Structure 1
Amino acid sequence: KEGSPILHDYIQEAKDGSAASYFQRDALLRDLMGLLSLSQNRHVLLVGPEGAGKRTLIYSLAQLLAEGKGPDNLRSVVEMSETALLENPLAAIRAAMRRASGGVLLVPNIERFFADRLRAKFPEQVNRELHKAILGNEQVVIGTTTPAAFEKLRQNRIIRENSNRLDVAAATLKETISILNFHKIRLELDYEIEVARDALETAATLANQYIKTIALPAGAVQLTNRACALVRMVSQDRVANLPEIKADGRLDSEDVTVAASQMTKIPLQKLSEDEQGKYANMVEHLHHRIIGQEEAVMAVSRAVKTARVGLRDRKRPIGSFLFLGPSGVGKTELAKALAEFMFGTEKAMMVLDMSEYQEEASVNRLIGAPPGYVGHEAGGQLTNFVRERPYTVVLFDEVEKAHTRVFDVLLQVMEEGRLTDSQGRTATFSDAVIIMTSNLGSQHMLVPVIGEVERQLVMENVRTFFRPEFLNRMDDVIMFHQLTGPQLGKILDLMLKKEVKLAAQQNIDLAITVEAKQWLLAKNDQPQYGARPLRRIIARYLREPLANFLLEQKRRTGNTLVIVDDEPDTPELDFQIRQEDDTA
């Protein structure tokens, strides 16, 4: 066929029987055909998020036209091959123009030919050919683009005066389930498995809730294909089995959940557990890691639980908090505990040290450098992370040290829940928690209980530093008091439990006496720095001497029991050892 190496005519492919079948979104198709029935300026821009089904809408149009339905003056729906566009763009666009004469020319990501910041490096003649087509009426140009890119496209006079915008919203959950059921037979044939209908409902639900980088229905379709591939893989004899997936050749809801965990990096048990019961016990769970700071834990829990039941603006972050307090009182630890509780792992947290963002240009590290500057192609550290992992806690440590431009970025995150990087890609923060820490007013919080007087003094410091519109966007300003001696003792117990687990990995049962714990606690001669010195004390007086002690012992067999006690009148702990094999 003429031009077959460099273009596709979807009407011809539908007539030949070589085109795939597509689910038709009837309301959108009616709106599109209404615009195509105009006598002049029939060109259309389909505007919607990635994965909403803009190109599928055109494929559905081609199927209708092939059946003799729709506008009768459109005889082709043509798209250029991306390979041809890369190899010889001018020849590709001219061939497509000829084939699309009297029909439709589909141009995915049309901003590549117009918007200055988003334009691809095609020869200028290629861009002019498309511009002339939009100024004329020989072909109907249908372009696809995203809302962010459209904002730049609309600044072009040719686009603004000669085209019509048609919004293609993400599919609803109900529509997505219908689309997946439409593809059920194809999935079973492609993967040679059985697909349960409830698995498709689970895929739509999980994609809607957890996959934010791609809109519905594409996110659910991608998840379903990923799950089908896993089931097919474990059903093959020569492939190692996955314990979470049954090798029965049948896709069920549990298999979809495993695939969702792999895609989102959210642990499997967090996707499977009862959300209502989990958040009902949120305070108790956080207190497994956070000693004291009852007011802070309660304040965070209230805000998060309110958001989780849907009583918030869905476009804004789950919560935006300012944590105030002296060093070592648990501000960062509460952020880590929140990430682990909500998203299953501490790794679902990005920590940004604001002392590194004191220069005006440093904001480019967050959202990407402008075109022409070093680092433009890499994008921004913050936007990249949140796009890839939207379910996350973002911690801006010592936020008061940041440049004012960074506060402008934070203001947009808290108010609009999204950032657009230097390449026009949008990162959405609607499923993220924003936490800023600061030492502002910490001199007034060096008390075990923060009263109304101390609170007013702290807030005077805060209001003096932050702009009113910035403070008004926060869900809560949370104050952390100085830790008491008993609280430091409980924190030491938690830290020592980690040391015991670390030793157990080396077949060492570590037993630490109460006297040894008191001895270690007494070594903290800087209680004003909270729990932070305890890590140094454990490393210096427990971990390092224990390592030296074990290295001096004879070769060990079986589990080793090490008893740690305080040695009276000496500046170090006493270690005693015995083999469990000897005492059995």
Structure 2
Amino acid sequence: MALNNNLFSDSIEKVIKNASKIALRFGSNLVGTEHILYGLVSVKECTASKVLAELGVTENALFELFEESSSGISLFGNVELTPRTKELFQIAQHIAMDLNHSFIGTEHLLLAILSSKSCYATKVLENVFAINVDDLKAKILATLQASRERKKVEDSQSGSELPEKLLEMGSDITLKARQHKLDPVIGREEEIQRVIEILCRKTKNNPVLIGEAGVGKTAVVEGLAQAIASGDVPEEIKNKSIFSLEIGGLMAGTKYRGQMEEKLKDTIETIIENGNIIVFIDEIHTLAQAGSEKGETSPSDMLKPYLARGELQTIGATTTDEYRKYIEKDKALERRFQPVMVNPPSVEQTIQILKGLKDTYEAFHKIIITNEAIEAAANLSDRYITDRSLPDKAIDLIDEACSKAKVNFTLKPQKVRDLEEKIKSLSASRDEASIQRNYEKAAKLQSEIINLENELKTHNDSIVKKSASGQIGENEIAEVVSKWTGIPVTKLTEGEKEKLIHFEEILHKRVVGQDEAINAVSKAIRRARVGLQDSKRPIGSFLFMGPTGVGKTELSKAIAEALFDNENNIVRIDMSEYMESHTVSKLIGSPPGYVGFDEGGQLTEQVRRKPYSVVLFDEIEKAHPEILNALLQILDDGRLTDGKGRTVSFKNTVIIMTSNIGANEIRQHKQLGFGNESADKVSEKDVYMDALKKKFKPELINRIDVICIFESLSKQHLIKISDIMIASLNKRLASKNLYLKIDPKAIDYIVAKGSNLIYGARPLKRFIEQEIEDRIAEKILLGQLPSRGVIEVDLEGDKLIFNSVE
């Protein structure tokens, strides 16, 4: 591509002129790349000169360099560019075109030099000035990007009456209101009125909006801007413009100490000089936070005198925690602001806000938002998304549900893709048949293609019709909530209904006996999934009591597997680790200033990540009483505040506590002999309840939904458990093409030898591992059993024998 000299900017022409002069001055009529580098630094107002000056590449430094290597003879007359220099200009033209720039500027020429690693100018930069060429290249590209963004801002804010230097650091909210670029503000009339009243004061006329993230603090300011734009405000502020100052824009480029303070002072003076500007500073606590290191002046200190005199009207916005941490403790700053609390709207108010925003989101997504979707977004977000505030979380639900629906409508169904592939394949076959002059086959294929194309058209027409009438309802909102939280809030499918109806049977596949506990848990799960449980408490809270090895922990795992298809989806807290009072910090997280503050609590962090889960407090009697006090809030209100002050919701968890308390007394009682069986059961329950009342406070016992007493395992129970264990072993053996067949007498022997009245079913598992699994492995290795096929286990005398079956 030929070099077009008409594309040279004025700065480039000055660069060439100064480069020619320096070449002749030091005895050369050829302008090399080093002379071009000198030309770039000599044109002070250009981008390249500014960037190079920051790195110490100045006119004087290069002049001294030329003097050292010069012969001292100056020349006169015409000069010519070296081939390498001409090549640089060609590269610069390419770079300008790639960046969609109309002219070749000094920045493009400097990028061309940096791209030509072998040219003399690049070697000077690397060897003399110790500049990393790649870093400098990245810096120039970043400068160009910032310039482009600034131009975008200027274009978007054309028509603003604010000074140009201010628009580089923020935006004119009043202009956006006049251009109807702001969303409607609903339900914040009281807060907007309060802000107007403060702004109309003579002194200390600076409101600060305080509220949690997402409650609508910025919306209050946008509502004020809309009121100013429509003239619905007092005369004092009718001609004012609201300027949103971005802290990032204020700090950008302030590399050295004092630069930001100077930039802020210049900004304040510009605002005061204009006289009709109200400054809005979102996250105003960052001004108090910035420069808070020892020995530095905080920007907020510079604002104080202007705020006190009423010269600089400012609206701030911050969260409750940040206000307390950074502004409230600075009394001089606090008294210059008048707080305006912005509380989250109620569910009803949120519904009205969403109805006001409905048209905006429908126009953007081209999806119809039904009233059912709006009500579901407000209700479900309030109930299930507990770590964010209304209306922000409800608006996000609507936005994402619309986005999901739009994507689904625009994606081609698999049937359409299959038809397109088939048409493409048949077209290729038809063309091949035509080339081979097999016209009969070509005609037949063409007929098939026409039929498929008609079918494809029908499908495409239905997609267009469906997308044109696309809408979202309650179920689409519920799907998004489920995706965000992992909590199933969508309508029950037929498969889920079937599972919930037979939930007891599913649990009995893993847990033998214990009907009372299984029935109580199943009822609670069904209530929750249908949506009938108390929304302010956990799904259910259960205390499983009984001797060790009877299935308390196993039932907890079975519940997790039945609900989530994975027994590991359980938050298990071993209470033997919480026997001291100070270990409560392990549970909920250390308070600020203590070791481990950033790590969070073992309980609260897991529940925050998995809000729909089974929470198992194993061996609850071993926990310190201080730990049990923390459980009171979980059981009653379904929430717990962690060490960082965040509220963690337990409303969608199943709380299970296990305890062996009272089991020793029962065992001692049984060793003395047996009486009437039914009376024995009643006395067992009384023993457990007496032990429970002695150990735990009434307020804890009273908050538990169901206390389940697990019965000791009978011989029949143990036989069933051994069958389950053998079935589990056969599952593992199946991958090795082995199957275990055990004689009933051998089962009786395993139960008799492997079970224990004190330890329940746990010894049975160990016996099967030692006497069956270990011996099979040993015999296969010795060649006494085949590595595939059926292995029979029989009882011979007092010993298990193993035989292979052909």
Tell me if TM exceeds 0.5.
yes
What is the SS of the residue equivalent to 1:76?
A: strand
Q: Are 2:572 and 2:615, in contact at CA under 8 Å, matched by a contact in 1?
A: yes
d(CA) in 1 for partners of 2:652, 2:512: 27
What is the SS of the residue equivalent to 1:321?
A: strand
Q: Establish whether residue 30 from structure 1 lines up as the match of residue 186 from structure 2.
A: no
d(CA) in 2 for partners of 1:259, 1:91: 48
Q: Aligned letter for 1:561?
A: G
Give the CA deviation at 1:352.
0.8
d(CA) in 2 for partners of 1:523, 1:230: 63
Question: Who is 1:562 aligned against?
Answer: 790
Q: Are 1:317 and 1:431, in contact at CA under 8 Å, matched by a contact in 2?
A: yes
Q: Establish whether residue 531 from structure 1 lines up as the match of residue 786 from structure 2.
A: no
Match of 2:364 among 181, 186, 189: 186
CA displacement 1:74-101 (0-9 Å, x = unmatched) = 5215253457669868678778877598
Question: Who is 1:75 aligned against?
Answer: 241
Match of 1:368 among 589, 592, 616: 589
Q: Establish whether residue 11 from structure 1 lines up as the match of residue 241 from structure 2.
A: no
Q: Are 1:43 and 1:134, in contact at CA under 8 Å, matched by a contact in 2?
A: no
Match of 1:2 among 165, 176, 182: 165
Q: Are 2:738 and 2:791, in contact at CA under 8 Å, matched by a contact in 1?
A: no
d(CA) in 2 for partners of 1:94, 1:236: 60
Q: Establish whether residue 165 from structure 1 lines up as the match of residue 341 from structure 2.
A: yes
CA displacement 1:483-539 (0-9 Å, x = unmatched) = 111112222222333323333345545555544443432331423222222332332
d(CA) in 2 for partners of 1:278, 1:136: 70
CA displacement 1:52-80 (0-9 Å, x = unmatched) = 55445544554554455566725215253
Question: Who is 1:191 aligned against?
Answer: none
The runs of 5 or more residues in structure 1 that have no matched partner are: 189-193, 242-246, 579-584
Question: Who is 2:513 aligned against?
Answer: 292
What is the SS of the residue equivalent to 1:217?
A: helix
Match of 2:700 among 453, 470, 473: 470
Question: Who is 1:105 aligned against?
Answer: 280
Task: Note the 1:205-220 alignment, pairs <5 A.
Answer: 210-215=384-389, 216-218=393-395, 220=397
Task: Note the 1:83-482 alignment, pairs <5 A.
Answer: 102-103=277-278, 105-108=280-283, 122-123=292-293, 125-126=298-299, 128=301, 138-145=312-319, 162-169=338-345, 174=351, 178=355, 179=357, 182-187=360-365, 204=377, 210-215=384-389, 216-218=393-395, 220-221=397-398, 223-224=400-401, 227=404, 231=408, 262-265=483-486, 272=493, 279-305=500-526, 313-343=534-564, 345-446=566-667, 451-482=681-712
Give the CA deviation at 1:268.
11
d(CA) in 1 for partners of 2:290, 2:708: 47
d(CA) in 2 for partners of 1:203, 1:505: 48
d(CA) in 1 for partners of 2:359, 2:780: 62
Identity score, percent: 31
What is the SS of the residue equivalent to 1:103?
A: strand
Give the CA deviation at 1:571.
3.9
Larger deviation: 463-472 or 498-507?
A: 498-507
> When the two structures are aligned, how many residues end up with a matched partner?
554
d(CA) in 2 for partners of 1:577, 1:130: 91
Q: Aligned letter for 2:298?
A: Q
d(CA) in 2 for partners of 1:485, 1:133: 86
Give the CA deviation at 1:367.
1.7
What is the SS of the residue equivalent to 2:700?
A: helix
The verdict on how the C-alpha distance between 1:269 and 1:66 changes in structure 2, with shifts beyond 3 A counting, is closer
Give the CA deviation at 1:549.
4.7
Give the CA deviation at 1:227.
3.9
Match of 2:209 among 34, 37, 45: 45
Q: Are 2:541 and 2:654, in contact at CA under 8 Å, matched by a contact in 1?
A: yes
Larger deviation: 372-381 or 470-479?
A: 470-479
The verdict on how the C-alpha distance between 1:485 and 1:149 changes in structure 2, with shifts beyond 3 A counting, is farther
Q: Are 2:571 and 2:613, in contact at CA under 8 Å, matched by a contact in 1?
A: yes
d(CA) in 1 for partners of 2:265, 2:603: 41
The verdict on how the C-alpha distance between 1:266 and 1:32 changes in structure 2, with shifts beyond 3 A counting, is closer
Give the CA deviation at 1:155.
7.6
Q: Aligned letter for 2:699?
A: E
Q: Are 1:353 and 1:397, in contact at CA under 8 Å, matched by a contact in 2?
A: yes
CA displacement 1:38-59 (0-9 Å, x = unmatched) = 24566253434x5455445544
Larger deviation: 341-350 or 430-439?
A: 341-350
Q: Are 1:400 and 1:438, in contact at CA under 8 Å, matched by a contact in 2?
A: yes
Q: Are 2:217 and 2:342, in contact at CA under 8 Å, matched by a contact in 1?
A: no
What is the SS of the residue equivalent to 2:607?
A: helix
Give the CA deviation at 1:396.
1.3
The verdict on how the C-alpha distance between 1:411 and 1:556 changes in structure 2, with shifts beyond 3 A counting, is same
The verdict on how the C-alpha distance between 1:267 and 1:429 changes in structure 2, with shifts beyond 3 A counting, is closer
What is the SS of the residue equivalent to 2:713?
A: coil
d(CA) in 1 for partners of 2:403, 2:782: 52
Q: Are 1:489 and 1:521, in contact at CA under 8 Å, matched by a contact in 2?
A: yes
Q: Aligned letter for 1:528?
A: I
Q: Aligned letter for 1:499?
A: L
CA displacement 1:553-584 (0-9 Å, x = unmatched) = 69999xx4333422524744515265xxxxxx
Q: Aligned letter for 1:329?
A: V
The verdict on how the C-alpha distance between 1:405 and 1:516 changes in structure 2, with shifts beyond 3 A counting, is same
Larger deviation: 398-407 or 78-87?
A: 78-87
Q: Aligned letter for 1:566?
A: D
d(CA) in 1 for partners of 2:699, 2:324: 26
Q: Are 2:789 and 2:805, in contact at CA under 8 Å, matched by a contact in 1?
A: yes
Q: Aligned letter for 2:183?
A: Y
Q: Looking at CA atoms only, which structure, 1 or 2, has the larger radius of gyration? A: 2
d(CA) in 1 for partners of 2:551, 2:769: 20
Give the CA deviation at 1:327.
1.0
Q: Are 2:365 and 2:403, in contact at CA under 8 Å, matched by a contact in 1?
A: no
Q: Are 1:563 and 1:577, in contact at CA under 8 Å, matched by a contact in 2?
A: yes
The runs of 5 or more residues in structure 2 that have no matched partner are: 1-163, 255-259, 419-459, 671-676
d(CA) in 1 for partners of 2:252, 2:548: 56
CA displacement 1:191-236 (0-9 Å, x = unmatched) = xxx7886996798377566544445315515753884697599769
Higher relative contact order (CA 8 A, sep 6+): 1
Question: Who is 1:495 aligned against?
Answer: 725
The verdict on how the C-alpha distance between 1:218 and 1:381 changes in structure 2, with shifts beyond 3 A counting, is farther
Q: Aligned letter for 1:224?
A: A
Larger deviation: 319-328 or 276-285?
A: 276-285
d(CA) in 1 for partners of 2:253, 2:498: 57
The verdict on how the C-alpha distance between 1:111 and 1:295 changes in structure 2, with shifts beyond 3 A counting, is farther
Q: Are 2:207 and 2:314, in contact at CA under 8 Å, matched by a contact in 1?
A: yes
